[in-house]
Amino acid sequence: MELWFAEMHTPHIKLGFRFKKEIAHVKSRYQDIHLLDTHEYGKLLIIDGTVQTTEKDEFIYHEMIVHPPLFSHPNPRKVLIIGGGDGGAAREVLKHGVSEIHIVEIDEEVVKISRKYLPTISSAYGDTRVHLHIENGSDFIKHAGKFDAIIIDSTDPVGPAESLFQRDFYENLKEALNPGGVISQQCGTPFYHPEELCGVYSIVKDIFKHAAIYLAYIPTYPGGMWSFIMASDVPLERRRKIDFKTKYYNDEIYYSSMVLPNFVKEHCKKD
130-134 and 100-105 strand pairing: parallel
User: Rounded to 10 degrees, what is the CA torsion of 11, 227, 164, 6?
Assistant: 30
Pick one of 22, 32, 40, 127: the residue that binds a second copy (CB under 8 A).
Answer: 40
Strand, helix or coil for residue 220: coil
**Under a CB-based contact definition with an 8 Å cutoff, are residues 122 and 87 in contact?**
yes
Q: Which of 240, 170, 178 is nearest to 208 (CA)?
A: 170
> What are the b/e assignments for 159-197, b being 16+ CB within 10 Å?
ebbeebbeeebbebbbebbeebbbbbbbbbbbbebbebb
The site map against a second copy for 136-165 (x = CB under 8 A) is ------------------------------
Choosing from 57, 107, 153, 156, the catalytic residue is 153
Distance, CA of 18 to CA of 154 (rounded, Å)? 26
> What are the b/e assignments for 67-98, b being 16+ CB within 10 Å?
bbbbbbbeebebbbbbbbbbbbbbbbbbbbeb
Pick one of 25, 27, 39, 167: the residue that binds a second copy (CB under 8 A).
Answer: 39
Pick one of 224, 235, 237, 244: the residue that binds a second copy (CB under 8 A).
Answer: 224
Distance, CA of 154 to CA of 149 (rounded, Å)? 15
Minimum CB distance to a second copy smaller for 60 or for 121? 60
Minimum CB distance to a second copy smaller for 10 or for 120? 10
Residues 7-26 that bind a second copy (CB under 8 A): 10-18
Pick one of 225, 234, 240, 270: the residue that binds a second copy (CB under 8 A).
Answer: 225
Distance, CA of 11 to CA of 182 (rounded, Å)? 36
Pick one of 119, 180, 199, 223: the residue that binds a second copy (CB under 8 A).
Answer: 223
Contact stretch for a second copy (CB under 8 A) within 112-120, 166-174, 178-186, 260-268 = 260-268
Counting contacts by CB under 8 A, is residue 259 touching a second copy?
yes
Pick one of 128, 179, 252, 269: the residue that binds a second copy (CB under 8 A).
Answer: 252
**Is residue 206 annotated as part of the catalytic site, yes or no?**
no
* Minimum gap (Å) between residue 32 Cβ and a second copy: 22
Query: Which spans of this chain sit near a second copy (rule: CB under 8 A)?
Result: 4, 6, 10-18, 38-41, 57, 60, 191, 215, 217-219, 222-225, 246-250, 252-253, 255-257, 259, 261-263, 265
* Catalytic (active-site) positions: 153
